[in-house]
């Protein structure tokens, strides 16, 4: 909603009392979103304020068209308490999931409802040369969605690479040269909207922690298996970021002595034998060497640009060669996961991403490898499960990251 989050110029013009009241509203809305609704008593405890003050804030937000009220189910006898919730589409976030060869744009509201979505081919460049194309896709998507830019409170971006979310920089892709604005600054200035950027695996981990299998869990590893392999670590109920936000680069752990050259510049990284890149390479090599496989029916162009989902589809049709290379990949990945289990002692490991769509063809060899390489008392504690969030996970995670960052930024500014 255009009038809810205020710009810094308007905040600077507020009196001390107005800033305090605005801070209460921000914290109230954030709390309701986090808890999926709050009663007046909940709000009083959450903000440590009196009931009359809470009711005044609620009424202001109802008049502003942000809050709505409904009776809370489950009350035993007497009048049911009123549950305050945020109206659908009060806050709309443009979520952009950038992959190496594709970009997905989605409008997500404050209640995690997806309003519209679109995917496009997109070559993620090392430098900022592909940003104008991204700008064009964003403009066209908003037009397609038939939304006014005034309805969009900001933009949340998830992407692969070494992302420092505090600086709004990616040190792997869309890297800014000296003197250039960071990726976050450039997109924010172009669209005059707040922008927050996060690594795609951390985004998936947040989605799992807020909405998925990791909800109410304390120690969880979220492994995203796409073109690369990434790790999100939740420890003691919090996402681990590391000093610069670079934690979780599982795919670039040294794994094979003097192995294949990785795109990161090192040899023998885990990704060279256990990733979508490795799967595509093995499939292509097998087809070209005359392996008997359903994949032989692909055109020369499809073989040259083969994608993991084609191998997975073949495996699901019983193709023995596709199954064998998925098994090889799973065995190597499981060995890497066994090391992580020894280090982090998690209660749950969640597998997500495109490779997870292979289901038992990837989970069985992973589990067998864990059984082989992990100490029994540690492996017996942990469960390995496939993500249940599906294709919506990235957008849901990006929206939640954006709102959390924006709430924190606004509160810090008015309370400084």
Using CA atoms, how far apart are residues 218 and 261, in angstroms rounded to an integer?
36
**The pair of three-digit structure tokens given for residue 327, joined into one six-digit string:** 């098994």
278-319 pLDDT, tens digit each:
999 999 999 989 899 999 888 888 888 898 999 999 999 999
Greater model confidence, 59 or 8: 59
68-117 pLDDT, tens digit each:
998 775 555 556 788 999 999 999 999 999 998 899 999 999 999 999 99
* Element spanning 93, H or E: strand 92-98
* Whole-number percent of the chain with pLDDT over 70: 98
User: What string of DSSP letters covers 295-352?
Assistant: GGGS-HHHHHT--HHHHHHHHHTT-HHHHHHHHHHHHHHHHHHHHHHHHH--SEEEEE
- Is residue 36 pLDDT above 70, yes or no? yes
CA contacts within 13 A on the Cβ side of 20: 6
148-170 pLDDT, tens digit each:
999 999 999 999 999 998 888 99
Helices (DSSP H) in 212-275: which residue ranges?
A: none
Give this prediction's pTM: 0.90
Using CA atoms, how far apart are residues 171 and 168, in angstroms rounded to an integer?
10
- Is residue 321 pLDDT above 90, yes or no? yes
pLDDT-based confidence at residue 8 (cuts at 50, 70, 90): confident
Separation in Å, CA 275 to CA 8, 218, 303, 332, 368? 44, 27, 17, 10, 18
What was the pLDDT predicted at 220? 97
CA contacts within 13 A on the Cβ side of 373: 19
* Element spanning 127, H or E: none
* Whole-number percent of the chain with pLDDT over 90: 81
182-240 pLDDT, tens digit each:
899 999 999 999 999 999 999 999 999 999 999 999 999 999 999 999 999 999 999 99
332-363 pLDDT, tens digit each:
999 999 999 999 999 999 999 999 999 999 99
Place of tokens 């969009």: 152
Domain ranges of the chain: 8-86, 92-200+394-414, 213-388
Q: At what angle do helices 276-288 and 320-344 cross, to 10 degrees?
A: 150
What was the pLDDT predicted at 178? 80
Separation in Å, CA 297 to CA 293, 312, 318, 327, 330? 8, 15, 15, 22, 25
What was the pLDDT predicted at 77? 56
- Is residue 1 pLDDT above 60, yes or no? no
Let me know if 5 is exposed, middle or buried by CB neighbors in 10 A (0-12, 13-18, 19+): buried
Confirm whether 8-86 and 213-388 share one CATH topology: no
As assigned by CATH, the class of the 213-388 domain is: alpha beta
What was the pLDDT predicted at 81? 81
CB 354 within 8 A of CB 309: yes
The CATH code belonging to domain 92-200+394-414 is 3.30.420.40
Using CA atoms, how far apart are residues 250 and 203, in angstroms rounded to an integer?
15
The CATH architecture one would assign to domain 8-86 is: Orthogonal Bundle (1.10)
Give the number of other Cβ atoms within 10 Å of residue 239's Cβ: 19
Using CA atoms, how far apart are residues 12 and 16, in angstroms rounded to an integer?
10
State mean pLDDT over 12-22. Answer: 92
- Is residue 269 pLDDT above 60, yes or no? yes
Using CA atoms, how far apart are residues 155 and 77, in angstroms rounded to an integer?
45
What was the pLDDT predicted at 179? 80
State mean pLDDT over 41-62. Answer: 94
What was the pLDDT predicted at 304? 86
């Amino acid at each position: 909603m255009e009038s809810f989050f205020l710009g810094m110029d308007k905040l600077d013009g507020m009196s001390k009392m107005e800033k305090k009241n605005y801070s209460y509203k921000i914290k109230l809305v954030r709390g309701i979103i986090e808890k999926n609704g709050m009663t007046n008593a909940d709000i009083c405890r959450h903000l440590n304020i009196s009931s009359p003050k809470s009711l005044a804030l609620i009424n202001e937000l109802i008049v502003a068209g942000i809050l709505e009220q409904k009776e809370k189910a489950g009350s035993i006898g007497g009048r049911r308490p009123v549950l305050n919730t945020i109206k659908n589409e009060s806050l709309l976030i443009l979520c952009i999931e950038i992959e190496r060869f594709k970009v997905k744009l989605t409008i997500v509201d404050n209640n995690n409802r997806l309003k519209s979505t679109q995917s496009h081919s997109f070559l993620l460049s090392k430098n900022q040369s592909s940003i104008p194309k991204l700008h064009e896709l964003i403009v066209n998507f908003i037009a397609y969605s038939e939304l006014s830019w005034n309805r969009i409170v900001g933009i949340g971006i998830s992407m692969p690479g070494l992302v420092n979310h505090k600086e709004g920089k990616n040190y792997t892709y869309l890297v800014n040269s000296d003197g250039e604005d960071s990726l976050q600054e450039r997109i924010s200035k172009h669209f005059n909207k707040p922008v927050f950027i996060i690594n795609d695996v951390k985004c998936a981990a947040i989605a799992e922690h807020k909405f998925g299998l990791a909800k109410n869990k304390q120690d969880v590893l979220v492994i995203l298996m796409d073109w690369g392999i990434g790790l999100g670590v939740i420890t003691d109920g919090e996402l681990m970021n590391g000093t610069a936000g670079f934690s979780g680069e599982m795919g670039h752990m040294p794994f094979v002595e003097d192995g294949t050259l990785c795109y990161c510049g090192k040899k023998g990284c885990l990704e060279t034998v256990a990733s979508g890149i490795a799967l595509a390479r093995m499939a292509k090599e097998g087809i070209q060497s005359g392996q008997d496989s359903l994949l032989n029916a692909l055109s020369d162009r499809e073989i040259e640009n083969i994608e993991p989902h084609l191998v997975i589809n073949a495996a699901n049709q019983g193709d023995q060669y596709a199954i064998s290379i998925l098994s090889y990949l799973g065995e190597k990945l499981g060995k890497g996961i066994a090391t992580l289990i020894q280090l982090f002692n998690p209660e749950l490991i969640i597998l997500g991403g495109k490779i997870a769509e292979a289901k038992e063809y990837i989970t069985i060899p992973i589990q067998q490898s864990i059984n082989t390489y992990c100490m029994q008392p540690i492996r017996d504690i942990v469960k390995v499960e496939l993500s249940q969030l599906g294709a919506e996970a990235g957008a849901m995670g990006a929206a939640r990251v954006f709102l959390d960052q924006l709430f924190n930024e606004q509160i810090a500014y008015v309370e400084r």
